[in-house]
Every structure is written in C-alpha cells, then in structure tokens.
Amino acid sequence: MSARRPLIAGNWKMYRTQAEAAALVTALCQRLPAQPAAEVLVLPPFTALAAVAQALASESRVALGAQNCHWAKEGAYTGEVSPWMLLDVGCTYVLAGHSERRQLFGETDALVNKRARGALAAGLKPIVCIGETLQERDAGRTLSVVASQLAGSLAGVSAEEMAHVTLAYEPVWAIGTGRNATPAQAQEVHAQVREDLGRLFGAAAALATRILYGGSVKPDNAAALLGQMDVDGALVGGASLDAAGFATICAAV
Ligand code: PEP
C-alpha cells in the first residue's frame, strides 16, 4: 500500500473558450463524490484560467493548474507567462516539459529544468513530464532516455523541493493516439523512475514522489493502469474534455 495520494490531472490542451471551460469544470464537479479518493486537477489553456478559477471559487475538490510557464517573475518575454501570474490567477500546479512542448516546440531538458525550477521558486508545484518516442522504444532505449530526461529536467532541484514535484511518464507514442502503454509497460518504467529518483534524491524522496502515467488514459483502461504499484495517478488529455468520462477516471483510483 502506498501513502501517495493519487492525482488525476486533466490536460485540456488548446481546447475550450472561457464559457466552455467554466461549463466543463462545473459539469465535472457535479459528477464528483463529496470526497474524491484522488486529488483532482484541471489544466485549462491560459485564456480560460480565470473563468475556471471563478467557477471553482467555492469548490475544494478540484485544483487548478496551467500547461506551461516561464521562470522569471516578470520581464520582456513576449508570449510567455510567469509562474507568479499563474499563482495570482489561482493555480497551484503547472506542467513542465509536456511532450507536445518537447516535440512541437523544441523544448530541451535544460529549458524544462528552468521552467520547473521557476515554478518551484514561485511556490507552484510542477508536474515534470518525461517519455520516450516510438523509435527510442523500438531501439530498446526507453529506460535510458527516461533516466536522462529525469536527471536533466530535475538538475539542481533539492531533495526538499522534490516534496512539491510530481512526475508524469508519458510515452510519446501513446499521447493522443488511442494506443496506451500496457499496465506492465507503465509499471516497468515507473519502477525504474522511482529507482532513479532514489539515486538522485534519496530513498525517502523517491518513495514520496508521485509518478503519474499519461497516454490515452480512458474510462475503460484507467483502473488497470492505476492499479499498478508505482502508478500514482494519471495525466489525461483527450478524455478529460468529457466531464462524465473524466469523473469515471477519477473514481478508478
Ligand atoms: C496528455 O495530453 O498529456 C495526454 C496524455 O493526452 P491523451 O490522454 O489524449 O493521450
């Protein structure tokens, strides 16, 4: 039995206007039990954060997060959003290094590291994403790729700061493809990541850190994935845009 409370996070990607986002989170709240077993988090696009924060004003069951952040408090960084601004709008979490940022926008481990550390400095909890491509998996490089992303993305983070960090293992070939990792494939990588965490930050931090699985998590495969010993929750993309389906995933922990 693990003492880690599962986290189910919904990444809404670049979907939903303000009104649609408020309606979606309201519909989700209507479907959650009074005391969900999992911590529940939604990650709307920047433009909908304030509307969702408002919809969640008297709601303690759902936390708010953003999909990306810069590391500075403010400055001449056109197009970027500061972690302090995210706190100001009501966020407690932020993604760092989602595979779509890495694949489509060229984000490196060094950049992901800056974002994660900037989030920590501001008092936000980063969810640091790692995962191999299909080519890397087919070449038998999954564990080494993930280990290297982990070390690079968390360089300079202290064992104490790890109390505020969540990891998400998201195989690139499983994101938005409808092809999820099998529970055994997910568990193999999660167990390895926990071992790597032990080497980097010590056994206590490794045991306490939540490692989410992401990649085509759906209502019908969530329970099997979440049932694995080292899978401490899920980062859900497409299926989080449906309130009923996402609530079912939240109930699958
Ligand atoms: C994601 O966006 O992090 C994700 C895992 O997407 P999907 O669930 O759609 O594969």
253 CA to centre of ligand 1 in angstroms: 18
Q: Is 166 among the domain residues?
A: yes
Residue 49, C-beta contacts closer than 8 angstroms, at least 6 positions apart: 64, 66, 86, 89, 90, 91
Which residues are known to be catalytic?
A: 98, 170
Q: For each successive 10 residues of the chain (253 residues), what is the average pLDDT?
A: 86 98 98 98 98 97 98 98 98 98 97 98 98 96 98 98 98 91 97 98 98 97 98 98 98 97
CB 192 within 8 A of CB 186: no
Residue 147 domain flag: yes
Query: Total domain count for the chain?
Result: 1
Rg (CA), the chain: 17
Residue 35 lies in a domain: yes
Please tell me the predicted confidence (pLDDT) of residue 2.
52
Q: Which atom of ligand 1 is nearest to the CA of 177?
A: 10
Task: Please report the pLDDT score of residue 179 as a whole number.
Answer: 87
Domain range enclosing 113:
7-251
| Residue with CA nearest ligand 1 atom 5 | 215
Q: Would you say 125 and 119 are in contact if contact means Cβ atoms under 8 Å apart?
A: yes
59: in domain: yes
CATH number at residue 159: 3.20.20.70
pLDDT at 3: 82
Residue 94 lies in a domain: yes
pLDDT at 180: 86
Q: Give the residue, by CA position, lying nearest to ligand 1 atom 6.
A: 237
d(CA 189, CA 193): 6
Q: Is residue 1 part of a domain?
A: no
Q: Tell me the CA–centroid distance for residue 100 and ligand 1, in Å.
A: 9
116 within some domain: yes
217, 221, 231, best to mutate for ligand 1 pocket (most atoms within 8 Å of CB): 217
pLDDT of residue 103: 95
Which residues touch 253 (CB under 8 Å, ≥6 apart)? 6, 8, 37, 38, 226, 233
Q: Is the CB of 45 under 6 A from ligand 1?
A: no
Q: Is residue 2 part of a domain?
A: no
Determine the Cα–Cα distance for residues 128 and 142; give it in Å rounded to an integer: 17
CB atoms within 10 A of CB 249: 27
Q: Please state, in angstroms and rounded to a whole number, the distance separating the CA atoms of residues 245 and 168.
A: 20
